[in-house]
Amino acid sequence: MIPRVFDTDQHVTPPPDMWTSRMARKYADVAPQVIELEDGGEAWSFEGGTYVHLFGMENLGGKDPAEYGYRARYDELMPAFYQPKPRLDAMDIDGIEAALLFPSVAGHMTVIQDDDLYVECVQAYNDGICDWASDGDPKRMYPTALIPMVGLETAMAELARVAKKGFRHFQALLSPKGVGYPTQEHDPFWALAQETGLVVSLHGGGASRAKHPTITTHEKKAEIARPRPIASEIAIASVRAGGLGSPLSLGIFILSGIMERFPRLKFGMNETSADWIPSFLERLDAVYTQHRWLGEQQLRMLPSEYFHRQVKTSIDREMLGVKHRHQIGVDKIMFGTDFPHSGNFYPHTRRYIDLLFHSVPDDEVHKILWQNAADLYGAN
Amino acid sequence: MNAAVDRDVTFVMDAAQFIVEPPDLWSSRVSAKHRELAPKVVSLPGKGDAWAFEGGAWLRPLGLEAVAGQGPLEIQDQGLGYADIRRGAYEPKERLRDMAVDEVDMASIFPSFGMSVRNIQDPDLHLACVQAYNDGLWEWCQSGDARRLVPQALIPATGVTVAIAELDRVAKKGYKGMVFLGYPGQGMDPQAEEDPFWARCEEAGMVVNLVRGGPVGPDRTPMVPRRWVGESAGNVRIVDTPLEVMWAQAASINNVILSGFILTGILDRFPRMQLALIDAGAGWLPNCGELLDWNFRYSRYIKFAKLKHMPSDYIRRQVKATVKGERSTIENRHDVGVGALMWASHFPNSTTSWPTSPLVIEGQFHDVPEDERRFMLGENCAGLYRVMPVTSRR
């Protein structure tokens, strides 16, 4: 059997005119745009050069690891990284039928300091990525909406707008205000999310607006020639190795009571890996049960039960998640490639899948590679 | 005669117990010039006892560190006095009695309030408090039973020379393990200048313990809830983290320091050095290993140190971790490594299995063959810290 594959972790490198072609003329200087660097490479400039982002490491599908680096130029990239039709071709080559499209460069809009500009940029991105998927094939491409984090009303307005546009999921956020943790004040936002049926996608954890220095990939313009400090590389490797952001965000979404108060709200975890989940849930249950009367409100179920009711997680590149699939739950695991980020398998994903699932029964393979994601994200 | 005496008893060494520091631990040991600012116990009117740091700039009330034996309806995170808590929390002979009740033979002893010495900014005071702690804990264990209570030293994170000097001092006393309070050079990540420190750790056989995965980042400013900021002005950051977030943090996975030790090559350059993750979970280690391998495989050309092996090899060779009640981790013990797991009770803090550890162990290990059980319940821990197993109940 050749399995159908739903890739729950692809990224889109934005076309160079993603923002400039959509935002009003008055934003011409401050809209995210591509600039030339002295070394002949290109970079994304935010807010008029306040932040400059080198995008080489996000565009490595099929490249020799010895040639990996931060330097990039659009005319040297595979068109599939940033153009919809070539992306479909790449998906065909790699045996991918449908894919979620997460941001890459666009995820860094959270560093824009001016609130109005930030909201305009987020809206332009949502319009742009929606058009991008429509130009490709909206039945096979499921772009991620981003929600601006400047306040409850703005967040709800954009959520309603993207729902109407046909988005099926949005990037998780810890607070519509951009800083702090979930409180019951935010309930109208989650109520709307539940009502619209959009899935909350925790790609590596919940987003927040506050600049997080240990995982930032931005460098001040004057310093872009300097490689990133090793500390931030270690932090990135740690997050990609299942630490920090994902478990913490999952724990916060459960214990804050959002899943209890909105039982039909669904969560997907993308590029988070899965094998840490069982022991994490046991620890979460134990901490919660012992301390619950110290808090102001109690949950009606164990923390792990909310996970099993409302969350699906995914594997990108791990044998152990497949080996322990019955512990995690065969209905709980989805699959992703992380194309075109560093370390993906393109164009050999089929071969990798064969190895990963060589001793797994067909019905379980089908659930993990297709059905669980198709059910969650509403593919036919 | 108790029937248990005749039973074939498995040696149990608890890999994570905590001392609730006796009230005079610092005040009776630091020199006169530091006495005012060294940690001391203060009574809060109607609110029990609290430890006051840096002359009362910030407080940590006696609470969840010391509530062993209390159920979820009783435990308090403040409002307790030393008179209200189990004496086994702070008196060594009483500790041994509490261990006997729980059928625990030996224990590795970590700090409760001593962890906050990390946040003392003045380097002289910082070092004085570290040394007083190390002297005090050593004497505490000696006056209990030196064979059964195994202390873990603090090492200051205020400079490489100071760290090496204190490491040599505690190694000479007989300490077998240290608590990592930050990279000794005070940076975000390991520095080459710190290699002499790691070399000394390896040479002295000093285990590097990462409590809850180890503190991340060089910022040592204390983070204190508003209500525990003292009246005297001090350099503190006020944080009001919701309880739910703190619980999620407690269960979460902190693999940053571990990744740093691997990817910058410390474990490669010092192959006999041992790391122990204390109360950080263990079930995630194999997953972390395979994903670090993945990251390393494609990033090694531009980012990380040259390594002779893959990251997961260093985890298998040089990392141990405590496990408490996580059944899934025991089920997956052959992936984590039977030789890497060390059972822990966390006595006397709020998450401890005391006084029901024998039942918890039975529930968790009931289908585990006896030879594997022995490793995880005690022999791995005794071997790691190079102490002689003493079975108190035979």
Q: What is the pLDDT of residues A251-304, one digit of tens each?
A: 999 999 999 999 999 999 999 999 999 999 999 999 999 999 998 888 999 999
Per-residue DSSP letter, B229: B
> Which chain A residue shows the shortest CA-CA distance from B292?
A241
* From B75, B248, B263, residue closest to A252, measured CB to CB: B248
pLDDT more than 70, % of chain A: 94
**Across the interface, which of A60, A295, A342 has its CB nearest the CB of B244?**
A295
Place of tokens 């400013």: B221
Does A224 have pLDDT greater than 70? no
A214 in contact with B at a CB cutoff of 8 Å?
Answer: yes
> Chain A to chain B, count of Cβ pairs less than 8 Å apart?
204
Residue with tokens 């009695």: B97
Tens of pLDDT, residue by residue, chain B (394 residues)? 343 444 467 999 999 999 999 999 999 999 999 999 999 999 988 889 999 999 999 999 999 999 998 888 999 888 999 999 999 999 999 999 999 999 999 999 999 999 999 999 899 999 999 999 999 999 999 999 999 999 999 999 899 999 999 999 999 999 999 999 999 998 888 899 999 999 999 999 999 999 999 987 778 888 888 888 887 767 888 888 899 999 999 999 999 999 999 999 999 999 999 999 999 999 999 999 999 998 888 777 777 788 999 999 999 999 999 999 899 999 999 999 999 999 999 999 999 999 999 999 999 999 999 999 999 999 999 999 999 999 876 5
Could you give the ipTM of this predicted complex? Answer: 0.94
Of B244, B287, B298, the CB nearest to A343: B298
Confidence of residue A210 (pLDDT cuts 50, 70, 90): low
Backbone angle region of A47, left / alpha / beta, with phi > 0 → left and psi within -120 to 50 → alpha: left
Q: Which residues of A197-215 are buried (b: 16+ CB within 10 A; e: fewer)?
A: ebbbbbbbbbbbbeeeebe
Instruction: Give the pLDDT of residue A216.
Output: 36
Using the structure block, give the residue that is written with the tokens 């971790």. Answer: B321
* Nearest residue of B to residue A294, measured between CA atoms: B76
C-alpha–C-alpha distance, residues B195 and B191, integer Å: 8
Q: Looking at the complex, does the CB of residue B238 fall below 8 Å from at least one CB of chain A? A: no
d(CA A301, CA A263): 12
| Residue from A252, A173, A182, A216 nearest A46 by CA | A216
From the list A233, A273, A250, A286, the residue with the least C-alpha distance to B281 is: A286
> From the list B241, B251, B335, which residue is nearest A284 (CB)?
B251
Task: Tell me the nearest-neighbour CA distance from B288 into chain A, angstroms.
Answer: 5
| Interfacial B residues in 112-141 facing A (CB < 8 Å) | none
Alpha helices in B174-325 (DSSP H): 195-204, 243-251, 256-263, 266-269, 285-299, 311-318
| Contacts with A287 (C-beta within 8 Å, 6 or more apart), sequence order | B247, B250, B251, B351
pLDDT the model gives residue A50: 82
Interface test with A, best of B257, B295, B349, B353 (most A CBs within 10 A): B295
- pLDDT at res. B18: 98
Residue-level pLDDT at B393: 66
**pLDDT on residue B239:** 85
Nearest to A108 by CA among A30, A46, A201, A162: A46
Q: Three-state DSSP class for A226?
A: coil
Contact B252 A244 (CB under 8 A): yes
Distance, in Å, from the CA atom of B277 to the CA atom of B113, rounded to the nearest integer, reads: 19
Q: Cβ of B288 and A243 within 8 Å?
A: yes
- Amino acid B233: pLDDT: 64
Identify the residue with better confidence: B219 or A177.
Answer: A177
The region of weakest confidence among A71-85, A153-167, A225-239 is A225-239
* The pLDDT of residue A209 is above 80: no
Q: Which residue of A has its CA nearest to B282?
A: A279
Q: Which residue type sits at A130? A: C
Q: In this model, does residue A229 exceed pLDDT 80?
A: no
So what's the pLDDT on residue B228? Answer: 86
pLDDT digits over A72-125, tens only? 899 999 999 999 999 999 999 999 999 999 999 999 898 888 999 999 999 999
Residue A221, H or E segment: none
Q: Do A283 and B251 touch (CB under 8 A)?
A: yes
Q: From CA B42, how far away is CA B121, in angstroms rounded? A: 21
pLDDT for position B8: 65
Q: What is the DSSP string of B300-342?
A: TTTTSPP-SS-HHHHHHHHEEEEESS-HHHHHTHHHH-TTTEE
Task: Taking residues A324-348, report their average pLDDT.
Answer: 93
CA distance A357 to A318: 11
Which pLDDT score, from 0 to 100, does residue A215 have?
29
Are B311 and B296 contacting, i.e. CB atoms less than 8 angstroms apart?
yes
Q: Report chain A's mean pLDDT, rounded to a whole number.
A: 90
Cα Rg for chain B, rounded, in angstroms? 21
**Do residues A288 and B247 lie in contact, with contact meaning Cβ atoms separated by under 8 Å?**
yes
Helix axes A230-240, B285-299, angle to 10 degrees: 130
Contact A324 B73 (CB under 8 A): no
- The pLDDT of residue A218: 40
The closest CB to that of B326, out of A68, A282, A293, belongs to: A282
Is the model's pLDDT at A17 over the cut of 50?
yes
